[in-house]
Structure 1
Amino acid sequence: MKIVLINPPSFNTITSCLPKTLDEGRGFTPPLGIMYIAAQIEKETNHQVEILDAQVDELTYEQLKTEIQKRKPDAVGITAMTFTLIDVIKTAKIVKEIDSSIKIIIGGPHVIIYPEETAGIKEVDFVIIGEAEPVIKPLLDNINDPDKLEKVKGLVFRKNDKIINTGRSELIKNIDDLPFPARHLTNYKKYYWALSPYRPITTMFTSRGCPYQCLFCDRPNLGKNFRPASAKRVVDEMEECQKMGIQEIFVYDDTFGVDRRRVLDICDGLIKRNIKIAWNIRTRVNTVDAEVLSALKKAGCQRIHYGVEAGTQKILNVLRKGITLEMVEKAFKLTRKAGIQTAGYFMIGSPTETEEDILKTIKFMNKLKADYMHITIVTPYPATGLYAMALKEKVIDKDYWLEFAKNPTEGFVPKIWEKEIPREKLFYLMKKAYRSFYLRPSFVFNKIIRLKSGEEFLRKAKAAVKLLKI
């Protein structure tokens, strides 16, 4: 059997409240989910597998159709996130137009929330609920035998016009058992990111799950079981990336710094094995200290992305962040002192937040002297505590995400939290935040003196023009 795993185009991605001008030109990152599945297929089966990344290849839907026809698959797998669902279903429809006998398999975060709704979409043959690696082999081996598939945990499919749901797949206990993502099946030299001066870049998970309980995040409901890969495995994978000629790794863990000892062991392994590759992480301000930051710097870490969210203690508490403003200031100061770049992530429009609170957040954000800042408007997403709160308090009158899951249509606009401040005012304040941060003379000067190439200058000049347009 031949299976093609597709990262669909992103023409209809739901970007919530981020200005479209800022979302353009951000670059392309590898589709880690299908890369893991492809590697598992190669490891465990004799099935032929290919990856088709329509985003990095910048394919139109017509071009995508041609590429699928060339490959002649027996099955197609697509990862679905709620905000990419429209393009996922459009891709599935194209596959069925080519040959209705091609099996469509959908996985990803969206189907964990809405498994039977996804399986009810006529183009979809199978839905994988949960981590796909344990499920993919028995599914492919028995894809035409529904009786056997009923015994495979982690599947939803139709049988005799009935929806069969076998329950969520078991969590993988030992991440080290997984093969490295199949980067070799992608056009991996084409990936880049606007913030990085290096090319090509890649992405990487060193753990799965997150133990924290943030109100706006779905991890408390979908993936709170923190399971780290060993330090040795992480270093081995980074070494493989280096051998492939990859210049920078974006570690996509929800919170890289959960296990302090593991972080230090990873850094120690990179240093001892003389692995020279740039990398950056996402973590919380309460997971770093001077020793950890020094080790990260020596091991090649270039940038730390901190989820701050708010500049008032009141809102940090509402969002269940479990941090203080003092922790935030200390982490940014220590990171800057260690010689590592910082990126701060903020949200405005949280429950109980006033305009005065938001202005305090903007002031606090600028005070941190981060190298980069990202700010968006709070959006209650499904499977989050915030969404449950929005429904309970009638900020959102019905479960409209459920309706979208059943019938994904173009032009869908997510609802935001407007109980305290209306949408128009929130957009105004968001634009004010971006301009106040990025158009500061000190910020512009620092970016100019750090430029490493003409290409980087052009890229950042384009970004500056976009900021002026918002």
Structure 2
Amino acid sequence: MADVLLTHSYHLPYDPKQVRKMQPYPPLGTLYAASALRAGNISVAVFDTMLGDPDLGFSTALLQHRPKIVVIYEDDFNFLSKMCLTRMRELAWQLARLAKEAGSVVIAHGSDMTDQGESYLRNEVDFILLGEAEETLVTLCSAVLSARPYSDIPGLLYLDAAGKLHKSSREVPKNASWSALPRPARELIDLAPYRQAWTTAHGRFSTNIVASRGCPYRCNWCAKPISGNKFQIRSAKSVAAEIRELKEVYGVEHIWFGDDVFALNHQWVQDFADEIEAMKCALPFKIQSRADLMTPKTVAGLKRAGCTEIWMGVESGSQKVLDAMDKGLRVTDIITARSLLANEALRACFFLQFGYPGETWEDIQQTIELVRSTRPDDIGISFSYPLPGTGFFERVQEQIGTKRNWTDSDDLCVMFFAAYKNDFYVALRNALHAEVDSWNSANKLGSQIDPVSLWQHVFELEIVSRNSKLAAFPADEITSRSDKRKFVPLQNIIPAERQV
């Protein structure tokens, strides 16, 4: 029995791309919410939908715990949750319906709930929690359980007695005490399926941890409905102690840091490395960061702490596109970072984005040339995705039709008037992935795909896939295009015996 049953709406089998990758991580944000409820002396259980059956499993959990309150609390540290996928929305509504049928009050929190609050409230959800919601969650649950008024609680969205949308008048909460919360309550879920999935697919057990929350940078395509530009970091000692626990108690062999931006505080990195060495608890780990944060001292500190892989938000090899994104990054920063990481034998991986408004064929070629000249160890490619609350969305919202969100993480549908139609960007992604894979002789998939033929397909599509609706962009947003159909040279990937 538990007064509150926590769950979330990301179910791995509903996402074919993530099934292929098979890198499931527990819902840290949900588990932090559980820790906050426990600290508030509220009994709580968790039903984890990541690998569990969201229908039968959730119904069984409702019968077992008979909760007075069900909370659908998305993992704010999971980029998939931040993408506001419609498959997650559909599952959240389904979970809310089952909870209401069981007689529970339903509370929900997450990026999509913040964006689509009224639609959730009209699909069996009673309250939406806005902002950094752990404190709000505890206060609201306490009020509901003791039948106290809730109208003055900040950060709430709900329908009043007349069915009209009501939002708390006070400022949306930012939980200044998040870094002092107890560690996420991993013991409330079963980690065995995660261990089995990881060891079967990759030969080692990896799990996730976060050292910080939020990001102070202002890239105009990045949605930040929960933390805004606020950034908060835990103590280096507490993070190292959590890694030691994961290693010694749970048998974890690898760590993924889910922070939006790791290594923002350069001194913190040195302190963290010191703590890891003092506790003798080093594990290999990978992070997300920025190229301009990779200084020689920071890179050395990361390696000393156990870092083996760094994913950087490179986005584009065109300075024009980076500037249009308000990325605050120079192409030369990327080149320098790649060199620094290579010197320390750390894997350098690039997140890339194609299709941003104003990006031309010449800009795309600059991105391809950057990848070829720096040779990252891996890449991840996405297409520009206009999420509400971003400057990018405001620019293109009139071009977006009835489809406003991706269905799953492999949808990658371009929903505005980009320079090219979707088939071109898909072909571009496939060709660049195949080329990078081909550099790694150990990658069997890469060795089976001929990048040259894929690039030829890109070239053919470039001619016929230009978007006739480009006129919808303001003239100053589009760089004039050359009539000369330039194509990136293939010499770097064509074997010498095939070159003419």
Q: TM-score, normalised by structure 2?
A: 0.79
Quote the residue 1:451 is aligned against: none
The offset of 1:278, in angstroms, is 2.0
Supply the distance in 2 between the matched residues of 1:22 and 1:360 (Cα, whole angstroms): 29
Supply the distance in 2 between the matched residues of 1:171 and 1:320 (Cα, whole angstroms): 24
> Are 1:96 and 2:100 counterparts?
yes
C-alpha change, 1:424 and 1:230, in structure 2 (3 Å) is same
Supply the distance in 2 between the matched residues of 1:179 and 1:463 (Cα, whole angstroms): 44
Give the 5 Å matches for 1:160-179.
Answer: 160-162=161-163, 163-166=165-168, 167-179=170-182
Supply the distance in 1 between the matched residues of 2:441 and 2:166 (Cα, whole angstroms): 57
- SS at 1:424's partner residue? helix
Quote the residue 2:306 is aligned against: 300
Supply the distance in 2 between the matched residues of 1:296 and 1:282 (Cα, whole angstroms): 12
Quote the residue 1:224 is aligned against: 229
Q: Give 2:399's match in structure 1, choosing from 395, 406, 411.
A: 395
C-alpha change, 1:9 and 1:226, in structure 2 (3 Å) is closer
After superposition, give the CA deviation of every residue in 1:221-240 in whole Å (9 maximum; x if it has no partner): 95201111222222222222
The offset of 1:363, in angstroms, is 2.9
Supply the distance in 1 between the matched residues of 2:46 and 2:211 (Cα, whole angstroms): 22
Supply the distance in 2 between the matched residues of 1:127 and 1:219 (Cα, whole angstroms): 17
Give the 5 Å matches for 1:46-125.
Answer: 47-57=42-52, 59=53, 61-80=55-74, 81=81, 82-83=84-85, 84-97=88-101, 99=102, 101-119=103-121, 121-125=122-126
Q: State whether residues 174 and 227 of structure 1, in contact with CA within 8 Å, keep that contact through their aligned partners in structure 2.
A: no
Give the 5 Å matches for 1:68-467.
Answer: 68-80=62-74, 81=81, 82-83=84-85, 84-97=88-101, 99=102, 101-119=103-121, 121-143=122-144, 148-162=149-163, 163-166=165-168, 167-191=170-194, 197=202, 199-219=204-224, 222-244=227-249, 245-391=251-397, 394-396=398-400, 401=404, 415-438=414-437, 440=438, 442-445=439-442, 447=443
The offset of 1:134, in angstroms, is 0.8
Q: Give 1:39's match in structure 2, choosing from 29, 35, 38.
A: 35
Counterpart of 2:51, as a letter, is V
C-alpha change, 1:26 and 1:311, in structure 2 (3 Å) is farther
The offset of 1:352, in angstroms, is 0.8
The offset of 1:197, in angstroms, is 4.5
Unmatched tracts of structure 2, length 5 or more = 75-80, 455-500
Counterpart of 2:212, as a letter, is S
Q: State whether residues 304 and 343 of structure 1, in contact with CA within 8 Å, keep that contact through their aligned partners in structure 2.
A: yes
C-alpha change, 1:310 and 1:344, in structure 2 (3 Å) is same
Supply the distance in 2 between the matched residues of 1:350 and 1:328 (Cα, whole angstroms): 19
Supply the distance in 1 between the matched residues of 2:280 and 2:306 (Cα, whole angstroms): 10
C-alpha change, 1:194 and 1:69, in structure 2 (3 Å) is same
After superposition, give the CA deviation of every residue in 1:344-368 in whole Å (9 maximum; x if it has no partner): 1101111111223223312322332
- SS at 1:191's partner residue? helix
Counterpart of 1:201, as a letter, is S
Q: State whether residues 6 and 30 of structure 2, in contact with CA within 8 Å, keep that contact through their aligned partners in structure 1.
A: yes
C-alpha change, 1:413 and 1:362, in structure 2 (3 Å) is closer
Counterpart of 1:113, as a letter, is D
- SS at 2:263's partner residue? helix
C-alpha change, 1:434 and 1:78, in structure 2 (3 Å) is same
Q: TM-score, normalised by structure 1?
A: 0.83
After superposition, give the CA deviation of every residue in 1:364-387 in whole Å (9 maximum; x if it has no partner): 223322221111111111111111
RMSD: 3.1
Number of residue pairs matched? 435
Q: State whether residues 221 and 384 of structure 1, in contact with CA within 8 Å, keep that contact through their aligned partners in structure 2.
A: no
C-alpha change, 1:384 and 1:279, in structure 2 (3 Å) is same
Q: State whether residues 251 and 282 of structure 1, in contact with CA within 8 Å, keep that contact through their aligned partners in structure 2.
A: yes
Quote the residue 2:8 is aligned against: 7
Counterpart of 1:219, as a letter, is K
**Percent same amino acid among aligned pairs?**
23
Structure 1 stretch displaced more, 194-203 or 423-432: 194-203
Counterpart of 1:95, as a letter, is A
Q: State whether residues 115 and 129 of structure 1, in contact with CA within 8 Å, keep that contact through their aligned partners in structure 2.
A: no
The offset of 1:72, in angstroms, is 2.4
Quote the residue 1:456 is aligned against: none
Q: State whether residues 6 and 44 of structure 2, in contact with CA within 8 Å, keep that contact through their aligned partners in structure 1.
A: yes
Counterpart of 1:30, as a letter, is P
- SS at 2:63's partner residue? helix
Q: State whether residues 174 and 229 of structure 1, in contact with CA within 8 Å, keep that contact through their aligned partners in structure 2.
A: no
Larger Rg, first or second structure (1 or 2): 2
- SS at 2:399's partner residue? coil
Unmatched tracts of structure 1, length 5 or more = 448-460
Q: State whether residues 198 and 248 of structure 1, in contact with CA within 8 Å, keep that contact through their aligned partners in structure 2.
A: no
Supply the distance in 1 between the matched residues of 2:412 and 2:330 (Cα, whole angstroms): 33
C-alpha change, 1:432 and 1:379, in structure 2 (3 Å) is same
After superposition, give the CA deviation of every residue in 1:320-341 in whole Å (9 maximum; x if it has no partner): 1111121101111211211211
The offset of 1:145, in angstroms, is 6.7
Where relative contact order (Cα < 8 A, 6+ residues apart) is larger, the structure is 1
Counterpart of 2:32, as a letter, is Y
C-alpha change, 1:225 and 1:11, in structure 2 (3 Å) is closer
Q: State whether residues 257 and 285 of structure 2, in contact with CA within 8 Å, keep that contact through their aligned partners in structure 1.
A: yes
